[in-house]
Chains A and B, each alone.
Chain A
Amino acid sequence: MSAGALLDVQGLGKEFGGLTAVRAVDFAVEAGQIKALIGPNGAGKTTIFNMIAGAIVPTRGRVLFEGKPLPVRRPHAVAARGIARTFQLVRLFGDMTVLENVLVGCHGRGRAGWAGCAFRTRRMREEEKRLRERAWQVLAWLGLEGRAHGPAALLPYGEQRLVEMGRALAGGPRLLLLDEPGAGLNAEEHARLAALIRKVREEGTTVLLVDHHMDFVMGLSDEVLVLSYGEKLAEGLPREVRRDPAVIAAYLGVEAA
């Protein structure tokens, strides 16, 4: 649809049995943008995310990334193309430390296989050093160095979200999918999150996010896309979308704080 867009979603649809969760949605995300998907609960936002990330197979349509179709049903292959994501409910590796969680995010930057790891070859050790340096870089960037060796599961929720973002950023993705990054955060944390997302964009990563908090989303995003019942309701600049009568009708009485 849009030539040269980083992410091009074409006619994406998903049916679960008899239920149509997403109904032929088209949109694009330009490189360097911060774009938001908003809509009432059940509008299909997370389903779209899951389809882009390869976790769910679309019933129709396809997604192009940098001009080429994304693999379907293999999330690790999507990740290898340079797309990282976070989850609605934080999914950290509870048994591992914060540093190790972020190191997992570096997995794609390494090549060591079973034999290399078992015998601790020189190549494996050098690679390990490089991965650790990268992980520490990311932790420092997020201000989490102090927490590095602590168990990830014991952190306060806001910091857990940061760790998950660190894990996503560690691989150096070109597109970051954030699924409700603000859920469970208070106003001050939201502000910090917005600043962080802007920083991420400055470093060269495009951001597509899903969220419910209007002020947060409208203040942060370059473009907003409104979904309702699996269909695109409106798309455009925040202030335009805000005034769109169809959008207001869909959100009638559901103005989130």
Chain B
Amino acid sequence: MTAGRRWALLAAAAVLIGAAGGMVRSSYVLGMLIFIALNGMAALGLSLVMGFAGQVSLGQAAFYAIGAYVSGVLTASYGWNGWLSMAAAVLAGAVSAFLVGLPVFRLSGLLLAMATLGFGIIVYYVLVNWSAVTGGPSGLTGIPPLAVGGFRFDTDARMLWLAWGCLLAVLGLAGNVVDSRIGRALRALHGSPAAAEAAGIATTRLKLGVFAAAGATTALAGALYAHYLTFINPSPFGFAFSVELVVMVVLGGTASLWGGVLGAAIVVLLAEGIRALLPLLSASHAGAEYEIVVFGLVLMTFMILLPGGLAGLARRSA
């Protein structure tokens, strides 16, 4: 899509979200929209990694957790300013992704995927065991909401604006990158790595860059999550969440900025849908059981029938 159309879409989205924050009263709906934005930021990063660097990361939840815990700990335990701690969280996400990527990106695709999985699990274990800093399994409470002067982002509507504001800003910046020298290099890498190298593009360094960028956006989402819920514990940041992010990208389409967000929206809505249907189907305790069966089947079906995701479908018909 052209730059012009992209900015128009972003502006339209901004207007819609602005209105929604003012008009929608239901905490439930606002919460869902917020999670779509947060997951969208994380899925966006992963979709670039999968689409351009051509690698699957099965441990993205780790960067989400790093973002959440860095910002959470700095504000709750050390009294940092919320915005500074968010900046630190984003930096931590980028740096940790870069450091992990350095050795891991020399591996072939499958081993790389498993190594990222390993990284994700190790981070999870550190969060659970390093109780002194992270609060262990019971987690960290008392994370202050973000604030500008007296204006605190402590209501659903305000967090909606903040979360979507960040998402749209990230989309805007990512769109700038796509239209630039780096963006062309990414698309070249996607088209033919050998030809890209021959044209002078340092492909490994570029892949690292994408991975670091994804780490940054994912950490940003995690930090916002922490300041939204004001409480975090390790359990949402396990392998299941990493898989969910992969599902979002597979559904929405790789190498597509909007694909990640679309996938995030579908997954959030799908999860809610299943949870709503559950009482009608069986009396069992949690919808989580059927939810994961459905996600597993959806993942398989899409990868078999529609590996390009919905964005790929849109591209094909364009």
Contacts and interface: CB of A to CB of B under 8 A. Distances in A.
B173 interface: yes
B195 A112 contact: no
Contacts of B184: 96, 100, 103-104, 107
B301 interface: no
Contact of A171 (B194, B196, B199, B203): B199
Interface residues of B, number: 27
Contact of A75 (B185, B198, B213): B198
A117 B188 contact: no
Contacts of B194: 55, 75, 87, 91
Contacts of B114: none
Contacts of B190: 95
A79 B181 contact: no
Given A76-B203, A91-B195, A167-B199, A96 B180 contact: no
Which of B173, B180, B187 gathers most chain A CB within 10 Å?
Answer: B180
Contacts of A116: 180
A171 B188 contact: no
Contacts of A105: 199
Which of B188, B196, B200 gathers most chain A CB within 10 Å?
Answer: B200
Nearest to A113: B182
A79 B198 contact: yes
Contacts of B202: 74, 76-77
Nearest to A105: B199
A42 B177 CA distance: 43
A75 B191 contact: no
B191 A124 contact: no
Interface in B170-190: 173-174, 176-177, 180-185, 187-188, 190
A55 B185 contact: no
Q: Is the interface of B mostly helix, strand, loop or mixed?
A: helix
Given A55-B194, A95-B187, A117 B200 contact: no
A168 B180 CA distance: 19
B246 to A, nearest CB: 23
B102 to A, nearest CB: 16
Given A112-B180, A117-B182, A119-B176, A84 B198 contact: yes
B26 interface: no
A127 interface: yes
B201 interface: yes
B209 interface: yes
A116 B195 CA distance: 24
B272 interface: no
B182 A131 contact: no
Contacts of B209: 114
B201 A128 contact: no
Interface string A56-82: 000000000000000000111101100
A94 to B, nearest CB: 6
A104 B188 contact: yes
Contacts of B197: 54-55, 74-76, 79
Contacts of A229: none
B174 to A, nearest CB: 8
Given A55-B194, A93-B192, A107-B185, A79 B199 contact: yes
A54 to B, nearest CB: 8
A120 B176 contact: yes
Which of A76, A84, A167 gathers most chain B CB within 10 Å?
Answer: A76
A201 to B, nearest CB: 20
A110 B188 CA distance: 15
A114 B213 contact: yes
A108 B188 CA distance: 14
Given A112-B180, A128-B181, A96 B187 contact: yes
A118 B176 contact: yes
A93 B189 CA distance: 9
A117 B191 contact: no
Contact of B181 (A74, A87, A110, A171): A110
A119 B191 CA distance: 25
B101 to A, nearest CB: 14
A114 B177 contact: yes
7 contacts: A55-B198, A85-B198, A104-B184, A104-B188, A112-B181, A118-B174, A167-B199
User: Across chains A and B, which 9 residue pairs bring their CB atoms closest together, nearest first?
Assistant: A117-B180, A93-B191, A108-B200, A75-B197, A79-B200, A91-B195, A118-B173, A91-B192, A76-B202
